[in-house]
Structure 1
Amino acid sequence: MNDIVTRYLDTWNATDEALAELLATHWSDDCVYVDPLADVHGRDAVRATIQAVRTQFPGFVFTSVGEVDAHHQQARFQWGLGPAGEEPVIVGFDVVVLDADQRIRDVRGFLDRVPA
């Protein structure tokens, strides 16, 4: 499951060209992404959400914070968002559920620390 979390974070850090490929490879057709600021369905909507975040936080990167806890077809993990090589400005917690083909089907996200 560490690999799927890595691919998940790679997706959030991807440029537009790589983003479409990562979504097609690692996310199911009918994927769902829900967090306090978004509730989207399908790869196109996930791509638009990721692009909006990348636009809002230019130069920031998503990184893993701590260990991945996984069982069955799901994993939970904490991530950070901030300038590369610096302390994350934003920290969140996501639960990822995979489909039978080991692709991301459902993500439920929470924000643990956000700037004022």
Structure 2
Amino acid sequence: MSETVDLITQYLEIWNERDDARRDALIKAVLTEDSTYSDPDYARIEGHAALSTAIANAHEKFGTLVFTLGEVIGAHHDTVLFTWRLGPAGSDEAVATGHDVMEFAAGRVHRVVGYF
């Protein structure tokens, strides 16, 4: 389970990274080349560059708010369901919460489906 939590944590670090070059390096290290992301705002984002652009756009909307891991609800095989919080850095206060389903391939994040 600790490897799974490590990957989730690394994934959330990607969403919190404001520097484009560092974020791109993290995406390359953590996500598969053919990774996909979807949530209520995005039907399907494919690949590293598109995800990085979507995250940069989210930063404009969220300002300095950061994502933190809530709870790992369950994990089996190559899939995990977890909650996250979006709020001020260093605070337990959340302005938004959600659930993500994450699928892994070859030890990296392959697919994320978010709900908020």
TM-score, reference length from structure 2: 0.89
Shift of 1:67: 2.9
TM-score, reference length from structure 1: 0.89
Q: State the match for 1:31 in structure 2.
A: 35
Q: State the match for 1:6 in structure 2.
A: 9
Q: State the match for 1:65 in structure 2.
A: 70
Shift of 1:68: 4.7
Shift of 1:82: 1.4
* Alpha-carbon separation, structure 2, partners of 1:25 and 1:78: 22
* Alpha-carbon separation, structure 2, partners of 1:92 and 1:62: 10
Q: State the match for 2:98 in structure 1.
A: 92
Picking from 57, 61, 66, the partner of 1:56 is 61
Q: How many residue pairs were aligned?
A: 110
Q: Give ranges in structure 2 of 5+ residues lacking alignment.
A: none
Q: Which runs of 4+ in 1 moved over 4 A?
A: none
**Deviation digits for residues 54-79 of structure 1 (CA, Å, limit 9, x no counterpart):** 11111100011123521111111000
**Deviation digits for residues 3-47 of structure 1 (CA, Å, limit 9, x no counterpart):** 111111111111223201110000011110010001211111111
* Alpha-carbon separation, structure 1, partners of 2:30 and 2:80: 15
Identity, % of aligned positions: 33
